[in-house]
A and B are shown apart, each in its own frame.
Chain A
Amino acid sequence: MTEKLKFAFYWAASCGGCEIAVLDIDEAILTVAGAADILFWPVAIDTKYKDVEEMPDGHIDVCFFNGAIRNSEQEHLAHLLRKKSKVLVAFGSCAATGGIPGLANLSNKKGVFETVYHENASIENPEGVEPEPSSEVKEGELTIPVFFDTVKTLDQTVDVDYYLPGCPPPTKLILQAVGAIIKGDLPPKGSVIAPAKSVCDECRFERSEKRIAKVRRIYEVEKVDDKCLLEQGILCMGPATRGGCGGPCMDAYMPCTGCGGPTPNSLDQGGKMISALASILGIEDEETLTDEDLEKLLDGVVDPVGTFYKYGLPSALIKRRVIP
């Protein structure tokens, strides 16, 4: 390689965990630094949006974009970085499927502002002030980004080349992606850089009974046994979630919450999980179960949206709560 590659990193609606994940590749960061120059990375280096605006189109080789799109600044940067980058990677669950911020689609701007600026117990806001996109002060006009009603994924905003799911993406997959970029050996456009198998496939526990009598939340289980968590009644999203992580959550006796996004060829992660769960829940005495018993059994699924779409409401078939 004669010339160094040019990388950029950006964060939109995200927690910052993806930025840490980049550093989690440990000493391999030196290989990356040897092969690539980082032109833009707000969290780590002092560059301005103006610097990006001044670059010629397609100047950046690869942009790793994490975070969902929920305000006008993030939308603007998504468009800007798309224009300036040859390859745009949706990095992490938020950019790829909407992530935790995507759960704001259960509400809208009005609802979010109501909670954040008025209703929260720790809020003292006697004048009922809310952020305004533009305000007049004596020095002139001040503007802040416009907050959207609906959280969007990166590919609902601009064209995306590759997806690296996970919250955050597993180190192994980041290395695999970066390695492929450095070697110039990239998969077809639109690929998800992760194995095509489910989390169950990589989980160290084996499924044996394939039936559960009752849904239990993790705190209701006195001792988690060394076997499939779903079969112990703990809602584990493993069957409906794309692998690549190696199942570290289950190693720690915690259920998969679905950050890998839907499995390949599945339109909807939650729909698939409903299918998987309904097939094994309460089959013990399904002939004799009354509808009332069944409803009681299903009451165990306390928060259907939060469980089935924890990281993917904006990319689900039904993307948001219907606001009348």
Chain B
Amino acid sequence: MSDFEPVVVAFLCNWCSYAGADLAGTSRLKYPPNVRSIRVMCSGRVDPVFVLDALKEGIDGVLVAGCHPGDCHYQSGNYKTNRKMKLIQRLLKDLNMDPRRVRFDYISASEGQKFADVVTEFVQTLKELGPNPLKGECQ
């Protein structure tokens, strides 16, 4: 299990979290290279279907990050996503999937360090959880 490298998809909001990830890069902060970033205009754009589809396709963990409460460029997208992700976690629990495979966090444009920390911690958790049990299921 020690050589298991989880695949993580990260949906990052354009106004805060993607800029935060950018800052992590320009600041030359080190974080695990397991993340595939997808920029979305708002974390509220992330449909629960995206998250479920990613898991179905065998992605080991899905990270969604948006602006801090009160900072959403579109007023309330981050609140909506927080609730969506919590509901998805409840759904996954019922389906006997570890809810820690999906994670929502607030990362602002100035929090390059937080982005690096969140990714490091998430990848560590996923390494402990092992591969997505749906990986390789052909139907």
A contact residues vs B (CB 8 Å cutoff): 106, 156, 266-268, 270-272, 274-275, 277-279, 281-283, 286-287, 294-295, 298, 301, 303-305, 308, 316-324
Contacts and interface: CB of A to CB of B under 8 A. Distances in A.
Given A279-B80, A318-B134, A319-B139, A304 B91 contact: yes
B49 A304 contact: no
Contacts of B80: 278-279, 283
A270 B91 CA distance: 9
A31 to B, nearest CB: 40
Interface in B77-111: 79-84, 86-88, 90-92, 94-97
Contacts of A267: 49, 52-53
B90 A317 contact: no
Nearest to B88: A274
A156 B137 CA distance: 14
Contacts of A268: 48-49, 52-53
B99 to A, nearest CB: 11
A294 B86 contact: yes
B95 A322 contact: yes
A192 to B, nearest CB: 18
Nearest to A156: B139
B113 interface: no
A275 B86 CA distance: 11
A323 B92 CA distance: 13
B47 interface: yes
A271 B49 CA distance: 5
B32 interface: no
19 contacts: A106-B95, A266-B49, A268-B48, A268-B53, A271-B47, A271-B52, A272-B47, A274-B88, A278-B84, A281-B83, A283-B79, A303-B94, A317-B49, A317-B56, A318-B92, A322-B95, A322-B134, A323-B96, A324-B133
Given A271-B48, A282-B83, A317-B52, A308 B91 contact: yes
Contact of B87 (A156, A278, A323): A278
B70 interface: yes
A322 B99 CA distance: 13
Contact of A294 (B52, B83, B94): B83
Q: Secondary structure at chain B's binding surface: helix, strand, loop or mixed?
A: helix
Contacts of B133: 322, 324
Contacts of A281: 83
Interface residues of B, number: 30
Interface of B: 47-49, 51-53, 55-56, 69-70, 76, 79-84, 86-88, 90-92, 94-97, 133-134, 139
Contacts of A272: 47-49
A317 B139 contact: no
Nearest to B69: A287
Given A267-B49, A278-B48, A283-B80, 10 more contacts: A266-B49, A270-B91, A274-B84, A277-B87, A283-B76, A294-B86, A304-B94, A305-B94, A308-B91, A318-B97
Contact of A304 (B47, B56, B79, B90): B90
A277 B87 CA distance: 9
A295 B86 contact: yes
B2 to A, nearest CB: 21
A308 B48 CA distance: 12
B91 A274 contact: yes
Contacts of B88: 274
Contacts of B48: 268, 270-272, 274-275, 278
**Which of A275, A308, A321 counts the most B-chain CB atoms under 10 A from its CB?**
A275
Contacts of B53: 267-268, 317
Contacts of A266: 49
Q: Give the 3 A-B CB pairs with smallest separation, nearest first.
A: A271-B49, A278-B83, A271-B48
B76 to A, nearest CB: 7
Contacts of A279: 80
